[in-house]
A and B are shown apart, each in its own frame.
Chain A
Amino acid sequence: MSQTLLSVEGVVKEFGRKRAVDSVSFAVRRGEILGFLGPNGAGKTTTIRMIMGITAPDQGRITYHVDGRQENRVPKERVGYLPEERGLYKEARVMDVLLFLAGLKGMDKKTARARSMEWLERFGLKEYAFAKVQQLSKGMAQKVQFIASVIHDPDLVVLDEPFSGLDPVNQDLFKAEIRRLAASGSAVLLSSHQMNLVEELCHSIFLIHHGKRVLYGSLYDIKAEYGAHRVRMLITRNGWTPPPSPLVEADERDGAWYTCLLRPGVAPVDYLRSLPDDAPIEELSLSRISLHDIFVRTAQGGVPG
């Protein structure tokens, strides 16, 4: 992958006696989509606010690598942010809000107006450009919020729960745009509780819990390290069940379906070889443990895997 755009090193944030973020370190590269995950109250928003320069860390360092320079202050004109607590000025017109927010990012009015129209057209909202925000549906407003966070072509985009409340069609639209942003060289930090979407989009994952790092690495590596394989079979002969195996950690029978979770590190092919040659298996599927399961186990305090 290409150059690092954001590096977070040993960052700590305390509120009174509570340590909300505890020695967190990670990096995001250009073109990378990093899934920043964690249960509610884990320290995600606090970390994101420090990255956005809204609050300052008590310890540690956040560095931005922009235009060949290293900066310790957030280059606010080069970052885009879609916070979880978001909205729009209800009584203002869509175009006015976009021009105001683009202006805060240093864009001149003419460029901002042209770019706003491009984005509104892409999201099918061209005819709402001069409508008041309060006339928009929730999904439309969310699109405008998304546009406001990326209108200035930021180098770093932080998206906190961008999919919440979106229908599947709009989810696909957002996914495509997020992929496009990364493909154009932006670094994307994506926080979401929709694990299926994170799995689809993210190259790497950072999982935070109680303010501390729990998992960090590429999605593949994490699943390889912590995610054992799951084998699911449709068995045609009544009463037949695969014999007990030391390779299996847990199993379950549900009618004609048999599912087993292999021990970590066990190759599925080794397990399949251990089955009798005449095993009455009609259908067979193989999958890694899902990110969802890893997340749930982590949130419940268990060790992932």
Chain B
Amino acid sequence: MKGLSHVFTWEVTRHLRNKQFLIGLLLTPLIFVAFGAIPTLLAYFDRPQQYEYLVVDELGVLDDLRAKLEGSRVALTPHSMDPDALREKVLADNVNGYFVLDRTFVEQGVLPIYVAKLQMRPDALDNALTDLLQEIRLAERSLDSEVLAYVTARPAFIPTTLDVKGENTIGNLPMAIGFSVLLFFLILGSGSMLFMSALQEKRDRMSEVVLSSIGPDALFAGKIAGHFFLGIVQVVVWLAIGLPVAYFLLDIPLGDYITPSLIPAYAVFTLLGYLLFAAIFVGMGGTMDSMETASNLQGMVFMLPALPFFVIGPIIGNPDGAIARFATLFPLTSPVVTILRSGFTVLRTWEWAVAAVLLLLTTAVIIKMAAKIFRVGMLMYGKNPDLRELIRWLRHA
């Protein structure tokens, strides 16, 4: 296609010289790092909340209970049985509450905790009191302390996934999430740049001059290829900043998270997903004179890449459910969802294959349609086409 390489070079060089692009390129990963660091910083500066309860210990078990709460943020202070004084201290907001450990607690398993106002109670306190109650009751049945410890020991749940060979792996969830997030940003970032680029061609009244030198398909393809390259540049820069931060500062074992066998499949879905949305964005950008006059139809196009967000909940809830399977095969959600889903479940070969074929066919059809719309749209000035008009363009172009 004559002229494609010129358009490609033009799109790449003028963006790489553009201050806004360069600032965005470097600022985005910094914003991500900042967002990642803010909670840690806040936690560093913000002392976690401490709880203090007054305890009327009629059972003589306060020391046991305190031992169970060691290292937690709960402090227990003994107090005599003086309801008025206790009430006064709780209402004065000096302590979080008070409770009485007596036979009622042991026999009925009921423990009123008196507080000034309803509030979150630390899990550690609940767990310690539960353990204490079990121990007292079992001891009263004359059980050996070793048996007691054995019976009351809480199980440890360690999720451990297996790869195809049956070996113990950490799973490819982090890689799936990482890839799908990168693809999402690639589509959104490059897509909006492409949209603006096509729109600019018309806004700056350049389309007719350019189209007198090269065919519309070369302009269309050159823009898509150029912005794909720019998108890859963005991703590479982001990774170049993000990976060392993750590896060295956050101590994330990146090597454990990479499943090389999945990379080709992810690359295919990334490429097709990009091409699909790029074609839609360029085609639509070519129909518009300015952002201010965008119609509802054109505005809706910007929503399309966000569709996977609507199904993330159901996919995490049930990665093999009907919604997750549909979103894997539906071409507008398939690129991000297929990659993401492969982190939560083992996708069958046929699912990979059908999703890829459907995406490939849809991408081919959309590119053809978008190129037709682009061809007509680039020469139309002063009005935004409605759906009927777009269909007419598709028929006659």
User: Which of A16, A79, A92 is most buried by chain B, counting CB atoms within 10 A of its CB?
Assistant: A92
Q: Are A87 and B206 in contact (CB under 8 A)?
A: yes
B65 is an interface residue with CB less than 8 A from chain A: no
Which segment of B116-124, B140-148, B207-215 sits at the interface? Answer: B207-215
Partner of A76, one of B13, B214, B381: B214
Q: Are A87 and B204 in contact (CB under 8 A)?
A: yes
Q: Are A54 and B379 in contact (CB under 8 A)?
A: yes
Partner of A88, one of B204, B208, B213: B204
How many of chain A's residues have a CB under 8 angstroms from any CB in B? Answer: 29
B238 to chain A, nearest CB (A): 24
Which segment of A26-34, A101-109, A248-256 sits at the interface? Answer: A101-109
User: Which of A49, A55, A81, A83 is most buried by chain B, counting CB atoms within 10 A of its CB?
Assistant: A83
A127 is an interface residue with CB less than 8 A from chain B: no
Q: Are B10 and A100 in contact (CB under 8 A)?
A: yes
Partner of A104, one of B3, B205, B381: B3
Q: Are B10 and A83 in contact (CB under 8 A)?
A: no
B18 is an interface residue with CB less than 8 A from chain A: yes
Given A81-B209, A96-B14; A104-B214 close (CB under 8 Å): yes
Q: Are B6 and A52 in contact (CB under 8 A)?
A: no
B37 to chain A, nearest CB (A): 34
Summed over the interface, the residue pairs from A and B with CB atoms below 8 Å come to a total of 64
B200 is an interface residue with CB less than 8 A from chain A: yes
Q: Are B205 and A87 in contact (CB under 8 A)?
A: yes
In the complex, per-residue mask of A125-168: 1 if CB is within 8 Å of any chain B CB, else 0: 00000000000000000000100110000000000000000000
Residues of chain A with a CB closer than 8 A to B14's CB: 89, 91-92, 96
Partner of A54, one of B205, B211, B381: B211
Q: How far is the CA of A54 from the CA of B212 in the complex (A)?
A: 6
Residues of chain B with a CB closer than 8 A to A104's CB: 3, 6, 210, 213-214
Residues of chain B with a CB closer than 8 A to A16's CB: 392, 396
In the complex, per-residue mask of B364-386: 1 if CB is within 8 Å of any chain A CB, else 0: 00000000000000010100000
Q: How far is the CA of A79 from the CA of B13 in the complex (A)?
A: 26
Closest to B3 in A: A104
Given A91-B18, A104-B3; A53-B205 close (CB under 8 Å): no
Residues of chain B with a CB closer than 8 A to A69's CB: none
User: Which of B18, B205, B209, B214 is most buried by chain A, counting CB atoms within 10 A of its CB?
Assistant: B209
Q: Are B208 and A54 in contact (CB under 8 A)?
A: yes
In the complex, per-residue mask of A164-197: 1 if CB is within 8 Å of any chain B CB, else 0: 0000000000000000000000000000000000
Q: Are B208 and A83 in contact (CB under 8 A)?
A: yes
User: Which of B18, B204, B392 is most buried by chain A, counting CB atoms within 10 A of its CB?
Assistant: B204
B341 to chain A, nearest CB (A): 41
A292 is an interface residue with CB less than 8 A from chain B: no
Q: Are A85 and B205 in contact (CB under 8 A)?
A: yes
Residues of chain A with a CB closer than 8 A to B212's CB: 52-54, 76, 79, 81, 83
Residues of chain B with a CB closer than 8 A to A86's CB: 205-206, 208-209
Q: How far is the CA of A76 from the CA of B381 in the complex (A)?
A: 23
A90 is an interface residue with CB less than 8 A from chain B: yes
Residues of chain A with a CB closer than 8 A to B18's CB: 91
Q: Are B208 and A100 in contact (CB under 8 A)?
A: no
Q: How far is the CA of A149 from the CA of B208 in the complex (A)?
A: 12
Closest to B10 in A: A100
Q: How far is the CA of A55 from the CA of B396 in the complex (A)?
A: 12
User: Which of A82, A85, A90 is most buried by chain B, counting CB atoms within 10 A of its CB?
Assistant: A85
User: Residues of A with Cβ closer than 8 Å to B?
Assistant: 16, 49, 52-55, 76-77, 79, 81-83, 85-92, 96, 100-101, 103-105, 145, 148-149
Known contacts A101-B209, A145-B209; 12 further A-B pairs (Cβ under 8 A): A49-B208, A49-B379, A54-B208, A54-B211, A76-B212, A76-B213, A86-B206, A87-B203, A89-B206, A100-B6, A104-B3, A105-B213
